[in-house]
Structure 1
């Protein structure tokens, strides 16, 4: 991506960067210069960064505008979206904006905040475990140093190559497909102002912290924290400690690690979504990690939208913005990447399938009753194995089940070709045979992929 200073001075991104430096108060405001955003301007003194999902304009935080103009800009943006046949909403807004505008504000989580000047007095001194993590990392020989953000983002430099490998390992280790909007990994924006720290062990890169300024708040957003899988305990805490001390020396008054999604006082249906989605995203773990750094406060983060808009539909608009390519595509990519979800889904689907095989209506699809009951017994054993893996993943059991399902796929195909195809009559039979053949092949592929992902 080209940096803002390399673009024409009248380009939307350069204009947005200028307004960001004047009015960027939301913790997420520095991220509006990353890839994928469009910019809507209300005159020369206000801007909204947004993503067009096809059904809505999803804004990243509050408008970049003065206090006096913010309400009018909000109303104008909503009207402009409606003129294009789009809904409008503002994701990751804070209490200040929620109190200024006549919009519904639905809490979507909370973010931890620190006063860097009180980091040592309020955070370190109140947490023996945090101090111990820092001690361990230093004792192991982990060292933190500041590096040029330009070098970090340049794949032609040794450091840039190391960071790219670290980022690749981090992305590959996540169960969810890569997301966009406010959670993409982009180290190229604001190169002059960005703070980049690396943690090294014997000269090898084991961790990275990247922070960007929240201009109108005299503060910082720590937007990226990457850790090598082999990094000693405390390496990430050491990076945060170093960053907080730098913020303090610079006279900064605010620091945050950003949103902990679906945490805090969220609605019952969002709590249900958190529970259902825990196999894909470690909501509790992320909140717990940020909490152990002893924040000085937790502040709510909202999704703000017009009162006449449906809250569920608006939430789906936000999910589409993060999915960057459609929810169906994102879901399929995530299914391939998430071993736990694959195993759980296969176990649950195998139960009704086995019941169907045991019913009298399945008799015509098997050469003999013995063959039919052998398949039923086989599926029961596979289901038991899958439910066992759901409780605790064991590679040896997963390999055994994957091998058995692969054999199932081969035998099912052979039975379909040698027995079923010649006796099929009508679309129903063709559909049943197709599903019976395709299901074990797909299950085998997903299981082998799940085993590969589980090693990461």
Structure 2
């Protein structure tokens, strides 16, 4: 442990109140210390400093430390925002705030009562146990040894889980880092038929005598109820130690958020299951929901802090993150291809476009061919089959070749302006691009059946 991280850990053990406070020990953070009793952990996006939660220090000094850090950021030519702050930060400091979601909170000493009162939760736990799922706490030594079977099992689970994600890996407060500071964590595995099928890692929230469940990973083979069984084990362990606070962390965009954030929640569903995540946490019967905020100094426009926070999660470039996400998950691209093929086919069938074909027979041949492709693509999206993807890619390749030949021999000599050139370009390039996409996606691991 280096001196700087040792100093941060010592401050966390005295003043780490925010649910996310322990995560500032993970890679990628810079630290600004204010005297001997306070510090701020942040990431630098190049234009802004994005703080992970609130400053770490005595409650009575939050406003002072935030103001001094804001002045430091201004002198350094950086904007400033505080991501995932709780209400007491807004009460303590003159900051603007915007709700970005809610996080569920439990008193683990009341967990057993909640289980008794929830028939659905008891049933999920019963199902997992009946299937033979066994949950146990694992030591830091087991996780830190790359040759240990438990470590190998968790590594394999994480690899499969990452492949299944719709978005590219993110940074900042959502890093997958269960082995860092393993001695301070509490970790549990669920094993089924001798295999690790789920994993839970909790980190301390020192000043609240509690835990944040930072990682909860479930593999595709895990029987129903496995995740609930892991949470049950963690809650009972916390209760046995007399802890009074456990949270499963932020449910993004949940609860009362601004209208445009609610719209983002709906539009973002293909990439992130906002509703599903909140529903899972709600089924565990939390005792309260704490509202979580994005906060920023009054001198900043309200749209900039959200952009800066998203840039921090994207590891510095939203454009690069978006491209990586598209390449990681081909299904939205195939879906876009299928949707665009519908209006294209309608345009081909219009009488106004008859002059683009050697004869009506050729025109309707193309129309029928594209109708068949559309049906095939939507069938592929309902249930991905690599064989069907290969067949469609081969047919579209033939489409591109024949279209190029027709364009050179028939359309090119008859072209009369930019409109004709544009139609020819789209007619040739679109199927060529689509064929390349399908050949690439046909055996993509994110699309293979579990």
Structure 2-normalised TM-score? 0.89
Map of 1:304 onto structure 2: 295
CA contact (8 A) 2:390 2:442 kept: no
**Alignment equivalent of 1:416, drawn from 404, 415, 430:** 404
Q: CA deviation at 1:383?
A: 3.9
1:114 aligns with 2:106: yes
Q: Aligned partners of 1:372, 1:329: CA distance in 2, in Å? A: 41
Which residues of 2 match residues 166-185 of structure 1 at below 5 A? 166-185=157-176
Q: Aligned partners of 2:288, 2:32: CA distance in 1, in Å? A: 33
SS in 1 for 2:174: coil
Closer/same/farther in 2, CA of residues 307 and 231 from structure 1, 3 Å limit: same
Q: CA deviation at 1:363?
A: 7.0
Which residues of 2 match residues 49-88 of structure 1 at below 5 A? 49-88=41-80
CA contact (8 A) 1:179 1:324 kept: yes
Map of 2:329 onto structure 1: 338
Which residues of 2 match residues 260-279 of structure 1 at below 5 A? 260-279=251-270
**Alignment equivalent of 2:10, drawn from 13, 18, 25:** 18
SS in 2 for 1:212: strand
CA contact (8 A) 2:28 2:43 kept: yes
**Alignment equivalent of 1:395, drawn from 348, 370, 384:** 384
Q: Specify every segment of 5 or more residues in structure 1 that has no aligned partner in the other structure, as ranges.
A: none
Map of 1:284 onto structure 2: 275
Closer/same/farther in 2, CA of residues 29 and 145 from structure 1, 3 Å limit: same
Map of 2:232 onto structure 1: 241
SS in 2 for 1:264: coil
Q: Aligned partners of 1:190, 1:43: CA distance in 2, in Å? A: 25
Q: Deviations over 1:1-27 (max 9, x none)?
A: xxxx2x3x2x3x333222222211110
CA contact (8 A) 2:188 2:230 kept: yes
Q: Aligned partners of 1:236, 1:451: CA distance in 2, in Å? A: 29
Q: Kindly tell me the number of residue pairs found equivalent between the two proteins.
A: 444
CA contact (8 A) 1:280 1:338 kept: no
Q: Aligned partners of 2:390, 2:357: CA distance in 1, in Å? A: 24
Comparing 376-385 with 301-310, greater Cα deviation is found at 376-385
Which residues of 2 match residues 50-449 of structure 1 at below 5 A? 50-121=42-113, 123-354=114-345, 357=348, 370-383=361-374, 386=377, 393-395=382-384, 400=388, 403-416=391-404, 419-420=407-408, 435-447=426-438, 449=441
Q: CA deviation at 1:347?
A: 3.4
Q: CA deviation at 1:194?
A: 0.6
Structure 1-normalised TM-score? 0.88
Q: CA deviation at 1:243?
A: 0.9
